[in-house]
Amino acid sequence: MKTSERTTSWNWPKGARAQEVALKFISTNPFFTILINPTHLAENRVCVPTLNGVIENKEKYVMLQIGKRSWNLKLLPYCEARNVRRLSAGWSLFARESGLQAGDVCVFELINKKDLVFNIHITKSDS
């Protein structure tokens, strides 16, 4: 695959800045984009797309990676009422240790479907 070819995002993120980051992100791997808001930092969870057809709809553990650092998080099943899944246990530790702040944009790139490993790309709010 040419480097200019890309997969499509699993979601269309909220916020113009997050949409711009998602449009500029080029990968041959599936991905989704989240604009971090204060609720994501105050609560111990964050809503993510359903990931239908990629990750089965039951409780799973996923790994988030930034460089050589990694975190294990619990991915909760699809919630029909909200049409989302949630990353829960481990989210607050990941957010704190990766220095996430409100206004940052995170791209979650699925780099290993078998082991459910996401490479995380953070665009800081002040950049």
Residue ranges per domain, the chain? 16-123
Quick one: pLDDT at residue 40? 83
pLDDT at 1 over 50: no
Taking the C-alpha atoms of residue 47 and residue 41, their distance in angstroms, rounded to an integer, is: 12
Percent of the chain clearing pLDDT 70 (strictly above): 85
Q: Residues 96-109: what's their mean pLDDT?
A: 92
pLDDT at 18 over 90: no
- The dihedral built from the CA positions of residue 12, 16, 18 and 19, taken in this order, carries a sign that is positive
Asked if 125 contacts 101 with a C-beta cutoff of 8 angstroms, the reply is yes
Closest CA to 33 of 45, 57, 16: 16
* pTM attached to this predicted model: 0.85
pLDDT at 74 over 50: yes
Quick one: pLDDT at residue 86? 82
pLDDT at 108 over 60: yes
Chain segment 25-47, per-residue pLDDT in tens: 888 888 888 898 888 888 878 88
Length of the chain, in residues: 127
* CATH for 16-123, options being 3.50.50.60, 3.40.50.1820, 2.40.330.10, 3.30.428.10: 2.40.330.10
Quick one: pLDDT at residue 2? 44
Q: Residues 8-14: what's their mean pLDDT?
A: 70
Taking the C-alpha atoms of residue 122 and residue 61, their distance in angstroms, rounded to an integer, is: 21
Asked if 61 contacts 72 with a C-beta cutoff of 8 angstroms, the reply is yes
pLDDT band at residue 83 under the 50/70/90 scheme? low
Q: Residues 60-71: what's their mean pLDDT?
A: 94
